[in-house]
């Protein structure tokens, strides 16, 4: 059951600071058309529980469970690496799925394995020819070099100079300019700013589509950044990707010419469980 007499039962978890509210909707007690509005209400900071997104666990004929992901702006996302890792641990600890499970997502089935507080996702196979490398966009006179990849969701990876210390608000302007370019990015895009360390590690900050802001961590962004750097010969696998909220590890396994299988591993944290009050659910944004 995901409801009580007073409100909706929830669990809050985060993957390296990328935080989510998870509800059990396997019985379909909350109609699917109501989930976008529920995400808007529950993900508000300060006046509600707060989170980067809402995830609903549903029944699936294609996997052990189905993941419905709604960003904090109410839009539905195809896939989220950190979210799926949190959902995997949640489902395992609640007895909904085995430690090695298949999660049905809009981006296709994703295999996850839970080991304590860590969860690893098989992100599937990427045809490296599909990655657009060495792309250039001139913005306000600045030449920005980027790669474009789809790792379940579209990601732009901007190669940032290691000495670039500009403020996040300035990077946000660049990210919004990329996202508003519907000719290049008809489905929108997540925008990653990547610095490659001399040690072979990556520093990454992601401005997420649907969140419309930087998040503390992004699993698919970490995967995209690692692959983009690896394709340019800048790093070797496994790749340690340092997000502001923590480290994700990306393993790149070459399956054949032009084909790589990607794995994402990172820590998850269970924050709280509780009931969202009916009073909170009735509050609308001014």
72 is catalytic: no
80 is catalytic: yes
43, 80, 86, 280: which one is catalytic? 80
Helices 219-231 and 81-93: crossing angle in degrees, nearest 10, is 130
Q: 105-129 burial, b for 16+ CB within 10 Å, e for fewer?
A: bebeebbbbbeeeebbbbbbebebe
**What is the C-alpha separation between 234 and 239, in angstroms, rounded?**
10
**What is the C-alpha separation between 167 and 279, in angstroms, rounded?**
38
Which residue(s) pair with 118 in the sheet?
A: 115, 267
43, 72, 86, 218: which one is catalytic? 218
Sort strands 246-256 and 259-267 into parallel, antiparallel or unpaired: antiparallel
**What is the C-alpha separation between 43 and 23, in angstroms, rounded?**
13
Cα angle, residue 154 at apex, residues 102 and 250 outer, rounded to 5°: 55
Which residue(s) pair with 102 in the sheet?
A: 111
Active-site annotation, residues:
80, 218
């Amino acid at each position: 059951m995901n409801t009580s007499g007073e409100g909706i039962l929830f669990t809050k978890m985060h993957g390296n600071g990328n935080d989510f509210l998870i509800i059990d909707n396997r019985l379909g007690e909350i109609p699917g058309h109501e989930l976008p509005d529920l995400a808007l209400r529950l993900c508000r900071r300060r006046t509600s529980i707060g989170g980067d997104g809402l995830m609903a666990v549903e029944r699936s004929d294609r996997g052990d469970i189905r993941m419905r992901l709604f960003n904090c702006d109410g839009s539905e996302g195809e896939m989220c690496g950190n979210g799926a890792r949190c959902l995997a641990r949640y489902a395992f600890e609640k007895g909904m799925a085995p430690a090695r499970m298949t999660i049905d997502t809009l981006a296709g089935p994703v295999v996850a394995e839970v080991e304590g507080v860590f969860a690893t996702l098989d992100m599937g196979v990427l045809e490296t020819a599909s990655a657009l490398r060495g792309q250039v966009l001139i913005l306000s006179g600045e030449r920005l070099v980027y790669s474009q990849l789809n790792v379940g969701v579209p990601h732009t990876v901007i190669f940032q100079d290691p000495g670039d210390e500009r403020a996040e608000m300035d990077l946000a302007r660049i990210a919004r300019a990329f996202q508003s370019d519907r000719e290049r990015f008809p489905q929108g895009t997540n925008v990653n700013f990547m610095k490659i360390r001399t040690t072979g590690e990556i520093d990454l900050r992601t401005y997420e589509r649907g969140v419309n802001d930087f998040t503390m961590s992004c699993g698919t962004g970490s995967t995209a950044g690692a692959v983009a750097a690896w394709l340019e010969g800048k790093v070797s696998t496994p790749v340690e990707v340092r997000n502001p909220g923590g480290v994700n590890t990306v393993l790149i396994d070459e399956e054949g010419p032009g084909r790589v299988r990607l794995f994402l591993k990172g820590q998850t944290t269970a924050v709280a469980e509780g009931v969202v009050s009916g009073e909170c659910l009735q509050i609308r944004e001014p």
